[in-house]
Structure 1
Amino acid sequence: MNLHRMLQAREAAGKPVTVGVIGAGKFGSMFLAAAQRTPGMHVVGIADLALPRARDALARIGWPEAKYAAPNLDAAHRSGATALTEDAMALMGDPRIEVIVECTGHPAAGIRHALAAIEHGKHIVMVNVEADVLAGPLLAERARAAGTVYSMAYGDQPSLVCEIVDTLRAEGFTVVAAGKGTKYLPEYHASTPATVWGHYGLSEEQARLGGMNPQMFNSFLDGTKSGIEMAAIANATGLEPPEDGLAFPPCGTQDLPRVFAGSRGRVEVISSLERDGRPVVGDLRWGVYAVFEGETDYIRRCFAEYGVATDPSGRYAALWRPYHFIGLELGISVASAALRREPTGCSDAWRGDVAATAKRDLAAGEVLDGEGGAMVWGKCIPAQRSLALGALPIGLAHGVPLKRAVKAGGIVTAADVALDESSEAVRIRRAMEQAARPAKAAE
């Protein structure tokens, strides 16, 4: 509860926390909107492959043009303004920048940027949860070895869940389940970019005018993004994914203790829709939760005395947050990494994976279109099951041709596709898989 005071001290000393941002999309724009109002924080550089789009974003969020007119990083450091560049590696190579914020959403790019940031001794806030789930435990271990911080992004749901779980555990409670809410029906797993707007109640024209990307929004709807986020939470907290994927039970906040009573440490996403499409009463569509156990009679009596909502037995209770503010809250991660050298959530082991799963019958020769596309969605399963199956992670399922057919509902395996084993993302993933394999018994 001292980050604001610590930032003010850096401001007063004329030494603000220096930040480089990669990607000026929605999440990055939200962070930048808040960062310009945060004392003790200086966004020195923004890297984006489309600088006109980045300038449009900065104008839209209210940055004065002079604020992002620094011609280079040296000028930005001197003036307190911000330089725009297409060269993300220039941010990593600048020894005066302390924290890199990676929010491209592209798994391979995220891994490349994380490795470069770590090599240059920088803290990295990984908004790119796709990259984190693909290889986060390995990246986090490399950051620890280098003495830098590798952190989840505060404001995004995985980090907020980690915060609630950590708070409850620090208070002595056993957490039996944790996760988030979303809008879900089973048929959404087959949704494609061509059908997505109907599920959201929007016309294609409305979506176009809103600048909404159909493949990205389809990833939110078809279960992939939920799977990615739950795998990240599992990897950071020790909670486990269900063996055959998330169940998405319909559940309002008032029913959380009842629905998860008796659970033994799982991640799960709750649906804001009943299976017949009716809205759930007290839904948590935009929020996060954790269910915990009162393990003694005295603790359960305290629950009752202070109005804590529990299951009928009085043993299980829930804590939740109804909203998350996405990039508007990201400054907490930046400040925590730079000033406390502490992540706001971080993978410490590979426990959850997100396996590419066929939305329809897929034929040999077809080229997978990745997360949010028309061909596969991402199912969150235990990492050891993924390893045993040789599952293709959703983060590697874009632009790869199928060598053999896969039936609808089947998990696509690495043997089903022609992967480029020389690519950096594949090599890093393979290294993480190898490290997770059980050691062979001594002969």
Structure 2
Amino acid sequence: MNLARLAAEAAERGSPVRAGLIGAGKFGSMFLSQVPSITGLEVTAIADLDPEHAQIACRAVGWDDARIAATAYLEDGGALAVRDDVDVVIEATGSPRAGIHHAQATIMAGKHVVMVNVEADVLAGPVLAAQARAAGVVYSMAYGDQPALVSEMVDWARAAGFHVTAAGKGTKYLPAYHAVTPDDVWSYYGLSPEEAQAAGMNSQMFNSFLDGTKSAIEMVAIANACGMDVPTDGLGFPACGVDDLAHVLRPRDVGGQLEGRGMVETISSLERDGRPVFRDLRWGVYVVLEAPNDYAAACFRQYGLPTDDTGRFAAMYKPFHLIGLELSISVLSAALRSEPTGQAREMRGTVAAVAKRALQAGERLDGEGGYTVWGKARPTSKAADLLPIGLADQVALVRDVPADVSLTLEDVALKDDAALAIYRKALAFTK
């Protein structure tokens, strides 16, 4: 409740929070657009594979010449992490291997990390968080993205004494989307390839949102941060609007669709026949609560909270998330409160790579949102030998894999891979 005041006081002391951004893509640009209007926050350095692109991004979001000139532009994120004029490093590259490398360099330099890169977090988050705690710095999820927003809602519910039955987000989903490739993704968004290119939209990234991979990554991140369970057979994507959250997202033994209590799940804005769901939550996040006693359940009714037919389950939701426009909350919280806005603590789940088509030995996988695999959320206890989607990029298959089959670590050539080594360390945090 006091972040703006704390930031203003830091500015008055002449010690504003100094952030460094690695990756000036859409998420990073949204954050940069807000910085000029936040007292007590500065961006001193930006690292991008194309530093000129980073400067163009700053100009596009409204930075004036003086602010652009006062900012350092680099190619190397590792070099940014050790700069003396950076207090908090924002990792927004989207590359799991790069994210892990940058986070570890930042922690070793004694600086806080805000991990926009959820792909890296689901591979190594508990290890990175433990390393940060040992170094006396903060490793944090990125506020504005769904995992941090859901983590906040779960924490609110538990702090208020409610049992959390389910938590997650909405998306547009049909089962056929798992096979979609970057070649045909834009038709599902109602865009032509030319319109998407003009808007600077990356087909593989947007395909990850569509084919179910990004949902799996974000649900696993929530499970790992909140100590929740991942569905045994992967996300079910039930069609559900905001009015039905408490009915649908409750355990099967009381009439819902969940295999148990304390589950993560993504709901679809489309019925299975393609019809739109009434009052969908495509852009939002939710938490389903269970009253801990009869008195609390009665209060639900007395104060007008919509519930299921038992009166014991209710839902809270946010209809939107503002992505990078809200990222400063994490930066200021880490620097001024030494507190993360969500943090991986254990490995409740992983995201397994599943073949989109029949794959042959010698083929190279192309990772999240690509032509070869999509990512399926699985409990870690059931999937420790499966190939994580974050490691399924630019690696060669050593044997054939049929369509719709989950790949294993033995199916690919990953010997002496540094990211695989830290993933195996993360598996030690499985509960």
Same fold (TM over 0.5): yes
Moved more, 423-432 or 262-271: 423-432
Does 1:282 find its partner at 2:276?
Answer: no
CA contact (8 A) 2:145 2:324 kept: yes
Shift of 1:107: 0.5
**Cα distance in 1 between the residues matched to 2:333 and 2:380:** 29
Shift of 1:160: 0.1
CA contact (8 A) 1:112 1:424 kept: no
User: 2:218 corresponds to which residue?
Assistant: 229
Does 1:422 find its partner at 2:416?
Answer: yes
Shift of 1:426: 2.1
Does 1:265 find its partner at 2:256?
Answer: no
User: 1:73 corresponds to which residue?
Assistant: none
CA contact (8 A) 1:378 1:394 kept: yes
**Cα distance in 2 between the residues matched to 1:87 and 1:223:** 31
Shift of 1:424: 2.4
**Cα distance in 2 between the residues matched to 1:14 and 1:145:** 29
Moved more, 182-191 or 200-209: 200-209
User: 1:72 corresponds to which residue?
Assistant: none
Q: Residue 335 of structure 1 aligns to a residue in which SS? A: helix
- For 1:36-435, list aligned pairs within 5 A: 36-69=36-69, 81-262=70-251, 263-387=260-384, 390-419=385-414, 421-433=415-427, 435=428
Q: Normalising to structure 1: TM-score of the pair?
A: 0.94
1:95 is aligned with what amino acid?
A: D
Q: Residue 317 of structure 2 aligns to a residue in which SS? A: strand
2:3 is aligned with what amino acid?
A: L
> Residues 160-218 of structure 1, C-alpha deviation per residue, up to 9 Å, x if partnerless?
00000000000000000000000000000000001111111211111111111110000
1:256 is aligned with what amino acid?
A: L
CA contact (8 A) 2:285 2:318 kept: yes
Shift of 1:437: 7.3
2:389 is aligned with what amino acid?
A: I
Shift of 1:87: 2.5
CA contact (8 A) 1:403 1:416 kept: yes
Q: Residue 36 of structure 1 aligns to a residue in which SS? A: helix
Identity between Structure 1 and Structure 2 (%): 59
Shift of 1:247: 0.2
**Cα distance in 2 between the residues matched to 1:85 and 1:410:** 41
**Cα distance in 1 between the residues matched to 2:77 and 2:367:** 24
Q: Normalising to structure 2: TM-score of the pair?
A: 0.96
1:218 is aligned with what amino acid?
A: N
Shift of 1:315: 0.7
**Cα distance in 1 between the residues matched to 2:112 and 2:155:** 22
Q: Residue 208 of structure 2 aligns to a residue in which SS? A: helix
How many residue pairs get matched?
423
CA contact (8 A) 1:190 1:359 kept: yes
Shift of 1:300: 1.3
Query: Where does structure 2 lack aligned partners over 5 or more consecutive residues?
Result: 252-259
2:17 is aligned with what amino acid?
A: V
Shift of 1:91: 2.0
Please list every run of at least 4 consecutive aligned residues from structure 1 whose deviation after the TM superposition is greater than 6 angstroms.
none
Shift of 1:95: 3.1
Q: Residue 37 of structure 2 aligns to a residue in which SS? A: coil
Query: Where does structure 1 lack aligned partners over 5 or more consecutive residues?
Result: 70-80, 439-443
> Residues 192-249 of structure 1, C-alpha deviation per residue, up to 9 Å, x if partnerless?
0011111112111111111111100000000000000000000000111001100000
1:304 is aligned with what amino acid?
A: R
**Cα distance in 1 between the residues matched to 2:107 and 2:216:** 27
CA contact (8 A) 2:347 2:430 kept: no
